[in-house]
Amino acid sequence: MSPLPSVVSLFREMRILGIPINEFMLNILINNYCLMHRVDCAFSLLPIHLKSGIPLNVVTFTTLRELFAENKVTDAVVLFKKLVREKILEPNEVMYGTVMNGLSKRGHTEKTLSLLHLMEQGSTKPDTFKYNIVIDALCKDRNLDAAINLLNEMKQKNIPPDRVTYNSLIDGLCKLGLWEKFKTLFSEMVNLNIYPNVNTFNILIDGLCKEGKVEDAEEGMKCRVGKGVEPDIITYNAIMDGYCLRGQVDRARRIFDIMIDKCIEPDIISYNVLINGYGKKKKVAKAMQLLGEISQRGSKPNTVTYNTILQGLFVVGRIGDAKRVYAEMLSRGPVPNSSTHRTLLKGYFRYGLVEVYFRYGLVEEAMSLFNKLKINREDTDIELYNVVINGLCKNGKLDEAQSVFENLSLIGLPPDVRTYNTMITGFCIQGLLDEAKSMLRKMEKNRCLPNNVTYNVFVQGFLKWSKFSEMRTFMKEMADRGFSFDASTAGFLLNVVRENPSVLDMIPELHSKNNY
DNA sequence: TTAGGGTTAG
C-alpha cells in the first residue's frame, strides 16, 4: 500500500536496529522498488543477497518482472541464463511463465518458443498456459502455420487446449481473412466440448468489421442477444470502429447512442474510436466536442485520445490548435509518448512547405522538438528518425537529412528498411540516382533486405529523370527478385507513357505480360 | 509473510 517509499525507510531503520534480514524481507523490498519503477535500485539489492549469504530464490527473480516492463529484455535474459546455467536456482512454473510472457509481449517469439522447448527437457513441464502464450505470440506474428503446429503438438502430448487457445487461433485466422480455416477450427473446438464465449464472439465481430462486413457483424450481434452471449463494451467498440473504418462515422455515432441506451457506459476506447472517425472525416469540431464530453462523463482522456485529436487537427491544417492541444497535454494532460512525437513532427513537416506564406517556421519548430527529444533521450525509436529524415527530404533539406541519417550509426540505432527507402526517395527526388544506388548497396551490406517499396521508388526515380536504359536493367533485377510495380508506380508510368509514347519502344519489356 | 500466466476493441 502507498506510500511506497516508507517501505524503504522502514527497511533502513530495521538494518540500523540490527534486525536480521531474511529472504522474504529482501524480496518484499525488491518488489517495492519494482512497484516504484526503480528497477535499478531493485537490481542493486542483489549483491546484498550474496553478501549476507541469503540465497536468491525464484521469487526474487520473478519479482524482477519489471525488467520486462521497462524493456530491459537483454538484462532479464542474461540474468535468467546465468541463474539457470550456474544452477543458482531451478526455475519453477511461475518463473517460466513470467519470462515467457515478458518475452512474448515484446515481440521475442522465437525466444519464447525456445523456452517452451527448454521446459520440456527439464522437470517443470509446460502446461496449457505456457502453450497459449506461444500460440498467441505466433498468431500475432501472423505465423498461423506454426501456431497450428503447436496446437497439434499439444494434442499429441495430452496437454489439453482450452478456449483461450482456440480464441487466439481464431483471432489469428480472422485477421488474415482465412475464413475457411476458421470454420474448420471452430467445429473442431465445439467437437471437443469447448464452447465459444463473449471473447470468441468479439474476436469474430472484430474480424468481420476489419473486412468491412460491419452489417454482418451488427446482424450477428443482434442474433446473439438473449441467447447466452450478450454484447459488451468491446463488441460495441469493435462495431463502431468498423463503421469509422468505412468512413461512416454517423452510423458509428448511432451505435454509440444505442450503447448508452442499453446502459453500457462508453469507455475511453469508445471515445477514441469516435474521435478518430470524426477526425478522418475532417469533422474536427465534433471531435473536439467529444473530447470535452469525456471528463463530463467521468472518464479521462488518455495519450491515445490526444494523439488522435492531434492527427485530426493536422489533417485539416489547424496547426495553431495542434500546438495548443500539445501544450495542454504537457501542462495537465496524459504523458506524451513516441506516437505523440511522431504525429507532431509529421504534422509540422507536412505543412513545412506552406510556411513561407504563413511564416510559421514549421520545419524549425519540428527540428526544435526533435532536438528536445534528443536531449531527453526520447529519440530511441527508429520510426521517429524516419519521420524526421522524410520530413527534411520533402522540405528540400537533403543535406540535413543525410546528417541525421549518418548520426544513426553513432548512436547505435540501426536504420530499418523504411529509413533506407526514405533516403533513397530523397536522392531520387533530387535526381541523385548514383547516391540512391549506393544507399541500396549500403542497405544490403548492413543486411537490411530491400522490399517492394525500395524497387518502386527506384523505378519512379528512373522514370522521373528519363533514365530509361538504366530502368530496363533495374526492372530485370526487380522481376528476378519477385517484386512488381505498385499502384503508384503504375499511375506514374501511365502519365510518362501518355506524354512520351516512345518510352514503350525504349523499354520493350513493358509490352510483355510478365509480372510487371 | 514475497512472485506469474494465456484470448477480444482505440
**A364 shares a domain with A429:** yes
d(CA A369, CA A365): 6
On whether the CB atoms of residues A259 and A252 are closer than 8 A, the answer is no
Q: How far is the CA of A355 from the C1' of B7 (A)?
A: 48
Q: How far is the CA of A516 from the C1' of B4 (A)?
A: 52
Q: How far is the CA of A190 from the C1' of B4 (A)?
A: 30
d(CA A279, CA A249): 10
Q: Which domain holds residue A429?
A: 358-450
**A82 shares a domain with A6:** yes
Q: How far is the CA of A159 from the C1' of B6 (A)?
A: 14
Query: Residue A122: what residue type?
Result: G
Nearest nucleotide, CA A270 to C1': B10
In a domain, A53, yes or no: yes
Nearest nucleotide, CA A237 to C1': B9
Examine the fold and report which residue of A90, A117, A136 is the final residue of a domain before the chain moves on. A90
**A429 shares a domain with A370:** yes
In a domain, A290, yes or no: no
d(CA A228, CA A421): 51
How many domains would you assign to chain A?
3
Burial degree of A113 (CB within 10 A; 0-12, 13-18, 19+): buried
Q: How far is the CA of A28 from the C1' of B1 (A)?
A: 9
Examine the fold and report which residue of A90, A121, A150 is the final residue of a domain before the chain moves on. A90
Q: How far is the CA of A224 from the C1' of B7 (A)?
A: 20
Buried b (16+ CB within 10 A) or exposed e, A263-290: ebebeebbbbbbbbbbbbbebbebbbeb
Q: Which residue is nearest to nucleotide B1 (CA to C1')?
A: A24
List Cβ<8 Å contacts ≥24 apart for A22-29: A22/A54, A23/A49, A23/A54, A23/A55, A23/A57, A23/A59, A23/A60, A26/A54, A26/A60, A27/A57, A27/A59, A27/A60, A27/A63
Q: How far is the CA of A277 from the C1' of B8 (A)?
A: 21
Give the angle subtended at the CA of A170 by the CAs of A100 and A108, to the nearest 5°: 25
Give the angle subtended at the CA of A413 by the CAs of A387 and A115, to the nearest 5°: 115
**A493 shares a domain with A414:** no
The three state secondary structure string of A55-98 is CCCHHHHHHCCHHHHCCCHHHHHHHHHHHHHCCCCCCCHHHHHH
Q: How far is the CA of A59 from the C1' of B3 (A)?
A: 5
Examine the fold and report which residue of A55, A90, A125 is the final residue of a domain before the chain moves on. A90
**A424 shares a domain with A485:** no
Give the angle subtended at the CA of A369 by the CAs of A366 and A374, to the nearest 5°: 125
Nearest nucleotide, CA A60 to C1': B3
Widest Cα–Cα separation across chain A: 93
> Mean pLDDT in runs of 10 for chain A (516 residues)?
71 87 86 82 80 83 82 85 87 92 92 93 91 96 95 94 95 93 93 92 93 89 74 94 95 95 93 96 95 90 95 94 94 92 95 67 93 92 95 95 96 94 96 95 93 94 92 90 90 90 85 59
In a domain, A208, yes or no: no
Tell me A122's DSSP state: S
**A484 shares a domain with A407:** no
Please tell me whether the peptide bond between A3 and the residue prior to it is cis, using omega within 30 degrees of 0: yes
In a domain, A233, yes or no: no
**A474 shares a domain with A445:** no
Nearest nucleotide, CA A93 to C1': B4
In a domain, A184, yes or no: no
**A490 shares a domain with A414:** no
Q: What is the DSSP string of A307-335?
A: HHHHHHHHHTT-HHHHHHHHHHHHHHSPP
Which alpha helices (DSSP H) does A248-381 contain, by range? Answer: 249-261, 268-280, 284-296, 303-315, 319-332, 338-350, 355-358, 362-375
In a domain, A269, yes or no: no
Size of chain A in residues: 516
Q: Which residue is nearest to nucleotide B5 (CA to C1')?
A: A97
Nearest nucleotide, CA A34 to C1': B3
Torsion of CA A11, A12, A16, A22, to 10 degrees: 30
Nearest nucleotide, CA A245 to C1': B10
Q: How far is the CA of A15 from the C1' of B2 (A)?
A: 19
Nearest nucleotide, CA A167 to C1': B7
CB atoms under 10 Å from CB of A482, counted, come to: 8
**A482 shares a domain with A398:** no
Q: Which residue is nearest to nucleotide B3 (CA to C1')?
A: A59
**A443 shares a domain with A470:** no
Grid coordinates in use for A376? 531527453
Nearest nucleotide, CA A63 to C1': B3
**Whole-number mean pLDDT of chain A?**
90
Q: How far is the CA of A152 from the C1' of B10 (A)?
A: 34
Those nucleotides of strand B lying less than 7 Å from any protein Cβ are: 1-10
Q: How far is the CA of A67 from the C1' of B4 (A)?
A: 14
In a domain, A214, yes or no: no
Grid coordinates in use for A210? 476489419
Q: How far is the CA of A25 from the C1' of B1 (A)?
A: 9
**A84 shares a domain with A2:** yes
Nearest nucleotide, CA A203 to C1': B8
